[in-house]
Structure 1
Amino acid sequence: MGAGWVAGVTRARAMASRRLGVHSAREVAAAATLGDAFEQLAATPYRRVLDAEAGLAAAQRSVAATLLWHLRVMAGWLPRQGAGAVRLLAAGFEVANVEEHLRVLSGAAPDRPGPYRLGGLATAWPRLAESRSPVELRDALAACAWGDPGGDSAAAVGIGVRISAATRTAGAVPEAVSWAAGRLALLVARELFIHGRRLTKPSGRRAARVLGPGVLRAATFADFRQQLPGTARWAMDGIDESADLWRAEAHWWTQVEKDGSALLRGSRLDTAPVIGAVAVLSTDAWRVRAALESAARGGALEAFDALG
């Protein structure tokens, strides 16, 4: 095993050990005000959110930016294979940039302080950012690894890039196949049964490669669940109605953290502990964002605890 893997895995494990964790996140969630929550984060890796003038949305974005910075540092210590896996798992940041860019191109005022700084974790962002219309953005996506979303509307692009990210992860990161398949099932179910929208043909083809063609023909949510392969069906455990998909989201994160922790405990010096570190760090950031929302509501622990 090369020195790059030793250094990268060591750094990944060190980063993962500094996460806030469930207990401390719950203490943040119980804070009476957002300012009190900021004070509790002062000695943590999330101290960058400590802007007394920032509102909830800005603070949550800062938490996400902190996670992105950690993933960029981690990837910088890894050999190409490891950095590529981290790039795939961090694709949500480029998705956010693409969606924000499309809003600007469509005439909406930006509601974020500029795009996330992706550095080496970008798939094609510098080229995508050069597009000057929704049609150009779609063409740029079609010409790179993201693939054609099948339309240039916000809905087509948004679900298209998310489906692309999940399917590419399922095909290239063995340790994350079930996470990607479960995430894809949630995305497609929400699109079909919450928003009532059919997938575009390109997005449908990508989803079918992982979930099977039967899910796209399902007339009911129950039929959709039945058609899912085992790699994805776990994400719907205990979910009988599409209205309860928000609980499936929380269940998905809980399982990702559990699996990631198991990967971290192993002794391997390869992609496995790196994937585990990305999983637990990402879950931690998701939980801290939820904790800040609870604090903004005056310490609404009921909502926080419902996330599992």
Structure 2
Amino acid sequence: MAPASVALHPPTTSFSFPAGAGGCSRPRFGPPASPARLAPVATSVVPRRLLLPAAAGVWDFISGGAGGAAAASLAVRRGMQLFRQGDVAGSMAEFDKAIEMDPRQKQYLWQRGLSLYYLDRFEEGAEQFRLDVAANPNDTEESIWCFLCEAQLYGIKEARKQFLEVGLDSRPVMREAYMLFKDGGDPEKLVTSFSSGTDGEVFYSSLYAGLYYESQKNAEKAKSHIVAACKSPYGSSAATGIYSERDHQHLSSGDDSGRSQPTDCNMAMGVLISSNGADCEDACSRILFVCRYV
């Protein structure tokens, strides 16, 4: 899920200013004026890829050496590449290695949370996404992914009780997706609402509708919407990373013997399919959107 990006902007909580703030005296007649409230403001997003280098730079300065942070950044890149190739377990090993070399990076490793999700390590995945949101309290995507992990653990109703609330996203489609996961609703309405929108809105609405159905364990509808996202103009662009780790039945059963081999279906799409030349729709029953790598 052009670089991956997150929204970095102030919390949207309204603040009341105390009487007489700024040294202004109140009139002696009439009731006191109601304190003004600040409306939530959606701000532009900041590239997520800037967070890790920035954190690493600060850690280098504090620790007096760039070796650990630089090596950790390389491990993160290797982990991303291994995930891209379908080696989710290998990607986890690299992400954990990065944390060993530079512990300060853990709170930014949303990639690790995605790997944990697809390894069915949902409790650890939820913990990772919660760390990410604690570091960036306006991260809509990670709030949703945390819910996806916890829905697998506790069910939708319980997961919704502890839903991570974040700041107002500047993207209308992500605001609607966020409310769908947070409060419930009809994912078909999300898709319909943005069917005439930009290529990105068409893509994201289909993707998150599919992920919502996955949280409800409706594999057929999840597959339908996620494949539609893959086949959209935005989804098939070279800038978008969408990957399938293995067929759904093998993910669900834990059987690794039927793991799909990484064969190109469409290089720009970045979808991994089985080596028998199967159509995309036969291999995309579980697809992972990994933000946007460049």
Q: TM-score, normalised by structure 1?
A: 0.33
Greater relative contact order, per chain length (Cα 8 Å cut-off, separation 6+): 1
Structure number with higher helix proportion: 1
Structure number with higher strand proportion: 2
